[in-house]
Amino acid sequence: MKPMSRQIQLTAYPEGEIRVEHFHVVEVETPAPAPGEVLVRNLWTSVDPGMRLRLAAAGPAGYFAPFALNAPLDGIMTVGKVVETRIHGFAPGDIVWHAAGWRDFSVVRADEPALRGLGTLTKLDGSIARPEAYLGPLGGVGLTAYVGLLHVAELRDGDVVWVSAAAGAVGSLAAQMAKLRGHYVIGSAGSAAKVAYLRDELNIDAAFDYHDQPIDEQLSAAAPDGIDVYFDNVGGDHLEAALAALRRDGRAALCGAVSDYEGTPRGPRNLFQATANDLTLRGFRGSSHIHRFPELHRDMTRWLNEGLVKTRETVFDGLERAPEALVRMLAGETTGKTLVRVGGS
Amino acid sequence: MKPMSRQIQLTAYPEGEIRVEHFHVVEVETPAPAPGEVLVRNLWTSVDPGMRLRLAAAGPAGYFAPFALNAPLDGIMTVGKVVETRIHGFAPGDIVWHAAGWRDFSVVRADEPALRGLGTLTKLDGSIARPEAYLGPLGGVGLTAYVGLLHVAELRDGDVVWVSAAAGAVGSLAAQMAKLRGHYVIGSAGSAAKVAYLRDELNIDAAFDYHDQPIDEQLSAAAPDGIDVYFDNVGGDHLEAALAALRRDGRAALCGAVSDYEGTPRGPRNLFQATANDLTLRGFRGSSHIHRFPELHRDMTRWLNEGLVKTRETVFDGLERAPEALVRMLAGETTGKTLVRVGGS
Residues B196-213: pLDDT tens digits? 999 999 999 999 999 999
What pLDDT shows up at residue A116? 57
Nearest CA in chain A to B64: A276
Give B182's contacts (C-beta < 8 A, 6+ positions apart): none
Residue B266 lies in a domain: yes
pLDDT at B2 over 70: no
Question: How many domains would you assign to chain A?
Answer: 2
Residue A170 lies in a domain: yes
Q: What is the value of pTM for the model shown? A: 0.95
Question: Are residue B240 and residue B321 in the same domain, yes or no?
Answer: no
Domain final position from A287, A302, A331: A287
Are the Cβ atoms of B275 and A268 closer than 8 angstroms? no
Q: What is the band of B118 on the pLDDT scale with cuts at 50, 70, 90? A: low
Give B312's contacts (C-beta < 8 A, 6+ positions apart): B172, B197, B201, B335, B336, B337
What range does the domain containing A325 cover? 4-136+312-341
Q: How far is B67 from chain A (nearest CA, A)?
A: 16
User: Exposed, middle or buried by CB within 10 Å (0-12, 13-18, 19+), for B71?
Assistant: exposed
Residue B296 lies in a domain: no
Interface probe for A, chosen from B48, B227, B275 (most Cβ of A below 10 Å), is B275
Q: What is the mean pLDDT of residues A49-76?
A: 94
Q: Which residues share a beta bridge with A115?
A: none
Question: Are residue B202 and residue B131 in the same domain, yes or no?
Answer: no
pLDDT at A2 over 90: no
- The reply to whether B318 touches chain A by the CB within 8 Å rule is no
Nearest CA in chain B to A279: B283
Q: What is the band of A129 on the pLDDT scale with cuts at 50, 70, 90? A: confident
Chain B residues in contact with A256 by the CB 8 A cut-off are 275
Exposure of A339 in the CB half-sphere (CA atoms within 13 A): 26
CB A186 within 8 A of CB A210: no
pLDDT at A219 over 60: yes
pLDDT at A1 over 70: no
Give A34's contacts (C-beta < 8 A, 6+ positions apart): A86, A107
Minimal CA–CA distance to A210: which of A162, A148, A273, A254?
A162
What pLDDT shows up at residue B264? 83
pLDDT at A35 over 60: yes
Residue A299 lies in a domain: no
Chain B residues in contact with A277 by the CB 8 A cut-off are 61-63, 283
Question: Are residue B195 and residue B162 in the same domain, yes or no?
Answer: yes
Question: Are residue B102 and residue B175 in the same domain, yes or no?
Answer: no
Residues A313-330: pLDDT tens digits? 999 999 999 999 999 999
| SS3 track for B101-136 | CCECEEEEECCCCCCCCCCCCEECCCCCCCHHHHHC
What pLDDT shows up at residue A41? 96
pLDDT at B17 over 60: yes
CA atoms of A330 and A332, how far apart (whole Å): 5
Question: Are residue B278 and residue B148 in the same domain, yes or no?
Answer: yes
Nearest CA in chain B to A283: B275
- The reply to whether B238 touches chain A by the CB within 8 Å rule is no
- The reply to whether A154 touches chain B by the CB within 8 Å rule is no
B311 residue type, one letter: T
Nearest CA in chain B to A253: B275
Chain B residues in contact with A260 by the CB 8 A cut-off are 272
Question: Are residue B126 and residue B247 in the same domain, yes or no?
Answer: no
CB A341 within 8 A of CB A315: yes
- The reply to whether B280 touches chain A by the CB within 8 Å rule is yes
CATH label of the domain that carries residue A252: 3.40.50.720
Nearest CA in chain A to B50: A276
Minimal CA–CA distance to A199: which of A183, A214, A188, A210?
A188
Residues B241-296: pLDDT tens digits? 999 999 999 999 999 999 988 888 889 999 999 999 999 999 999 999 999 999 99
What pLDDT shows up at residue A30? 87
Neighbouring CB atoms inside 10 A of B32's CB total 11
CB A231 within 8 A of CB A171: yes
Give A82's contacts (C-beta < 8 A, 6+ positions apart): A38, A39, A40, A41, A90, A91, A92, A93, A94, A95, A96
Q: What is the band of B102 on the pLDDT scale with cuts at 50, 70, 90? A: very high
- Collapsed DSSP state (helix, strand, coil) of residue B138: coil
Residue A293 lies in a domain: no
| SS3 track for chain A | CCCEEEEEEECCCCCCCCCHHHEEEEEEECCCCCCCEEEEEEEEEEECHHHHHHCCCCCCCCCCCCCCCCCECCCCCEEEEEEEECCCCCCCCCEEEECCCCECEEEEECCCCCHHHCCCCEECCCCCCCHHHHHCCCCHHHHHHHHHHHHHCCCCCCCEEEECCCCEHHHHHHHHHHHHCCCEEEEEECCHHHHHHHHHHCCCCEEEECCCCCHHHHHHHHCCCCEEEEEECCCHHHHHHHHHHEEEEEEEEECCCHHHCCCCCCECCCCHHHHHCCCEEEECCHHHHHHHHHHHHHHHHHHHHCCCCCCCEEEEECHHHHHHHHHHHHCCCCCEEEEEECCCC
Are the Cβ atoms of B260 and A272 closer than 8 angstroms? yes
Q: What is the mean pLDDT of residues A86-107?
A: 95
Residue A212 lies in a domain: yes
Top-confidence range, A72-76, A256-260, B153-157: B153-157
Question: Are residue A320 and residue A264 in the same domain, yes or no?
Answer: no
CATH label of the domain that carries residue A87: 3.90.180.10
pLDDT at A134 over 70: yes
What pLDDT shows up at residue B113? 60
| Dihedral sign from CA coordinates of B188, B192, B194, B195 | positive
CB B36 within 8 A of CB B109: yes
Largest Cα span, chain B: 68
Question: Are residue B106 and residue B205 in the same domain, yes or no?
Answer: no
Question: Are residue B127 and residue B243 in the same domain, yes or no?
Answer: no
CA atoms of B6 and A287, how far apart (whole Å): 62
Q: What is the band of A210 on the pLDDT scale with cuts at 50, 70, 90? A: very high
pLDDT at A272 over 60: yes
Residue B297 lies in a domain: no
pLDDT at A278 over 90: yes
Question: Are residue B109 and residue B53 in the same domain, yes or no?
Answer: yes
What pLDDT shows up at residue B201? 97
> Among A256, A269, A281, whose Cβ lies nearest the Cβ of B266?
A269
Question: Are residue B265 and residue B326 in the same domain, yes or no?
Answer: no
Residue A306 lies in a domain: no
Nearest CA in chain B to A254: B275
> Among B62, B256, B268, whose Cβ lies nearest the Cβ of A277?
B62
Chain B residues in contact with A274 by the CB 8 A cut-off are 254, 281-283
Minimal CA–CA distance to B220: which of B231, B206, B234?
B206
Interface of A with B in 122-151 (CB under 8 A): none
Chain A residues in contact with B264 by the CB 8 A cut-off are 269
Q: How far is B247 from chain A (nearest CA, A)?
A: 8
Chain B residues in contact with A271 by the CB 8 A cut-off are 235, 239, 254, 257, 265, 267-268, 283
Interface of A with B in 41-100 (CB under 8 A): 53, 60-63
Question: Are residue B22 and residue B80 in the same domain, yes or no?
Answer: yes
Chain B residues in contact with A65 by the CB 8 A cut-off are none
Are the Cβ atoms of B265 and A271 closer than 8 angstroms? yes
Q: What is the band of B4 on the pLDDT scale with cuts at 50, 70, 90? A: confident
B238 residue type, one letter: H
Are the Cβ atoms of A260 and B279 closer than 8 angstroms? no
Helix (H) or strand (E) holding B245: helix B236-245
Q: Give the rounded percent of residues in chain B with a pLDDT score beyond 70.
A: 96
> Among A60, A240, A273, whose Cβ lies nearest the Cβ of B60?
A273
Interface probe for A, chosen from B278, B287, B289, B292 (most Cβ of A below 10 Å), is B278
Quote the mean pLDDT of chain B.
94
